[in-house]
Amino acid sequence: MSSESKKGWRKIPIGGVIAQGGTAREYKTGEWRNFIPVRDKGKCINCMICWVYCPDFAIRADQGQMVGFDLNYCKGCGICTTVCPVKCIKMEKEQK
Ligand code: SF4
Ligand code: SF4
């Protein structure tokens, strides 16, 4: 999130209450990332375990197939690397 789009304290609801659902969509956690997941497509068995475990819903899927990462939201935590049963995801230092 750029500094221009951050809310000042006067615009935060009293008590920091989150009054609506789906607000996490506004927070592009990909900006936090230092490491980026890279998948070896040839080894992937499309089990979708990474999709289940990703805390940021950043595994992209289409018709039951893992098709990549949503880098707007992937924060580079590496959980997908840990849970992948065939170890076809590795984390690489991201060039910024
Ligand atoms: S590195 Fe973390 S946030 Fe990114 S796709 Fe893997 S589990 Fe999701
Ligand atoms: S956990 Fe590994 S094998 Fe399973 S869909 Fe994800 S990348 Fe592919």
Is there a contact between 55 and 25 (Cβ–Cβ < 8 Å)?
no
Residue at token pair 């997908």:
80
pLDDT in tens, 2-42: 555 677 888 888 888 888 888 888 888 899 999 999 999 99
Measured in Å, residue 82 CA sits from the centre of ligand 1 at 10
Q: Whose CA is nearest to atom 1 of ligand 2?
A: 84
Burial zone of 6 (CB within 10 Å; 0-12 exposed, 13-18 middle, 19+ buried): exposed
Q: Which amino acid is at 27?
A: Y
Residue whose Cα lies nearest atom 2 of ligand 1: it is: 77
**Of 82, 76, 83, whose CA–CA distance to 35 is shortest?**
76
pTM confidence score: 0.82
Q: Which ligand is nearest to the CA of 61?
A: 2
Instruction: List the beta bridge partners of residue 37.
Output: 91
Q: Does residue 58 have its Cβ closer than 6 Å to ligand 1?
A: yes
- The pLDDT tens digits of the residues spanning 45-83 come to 999 999 999 999 999 999 999 999 999 999 999 999 999
Neighbours of 45 (CB within 10 A): 11
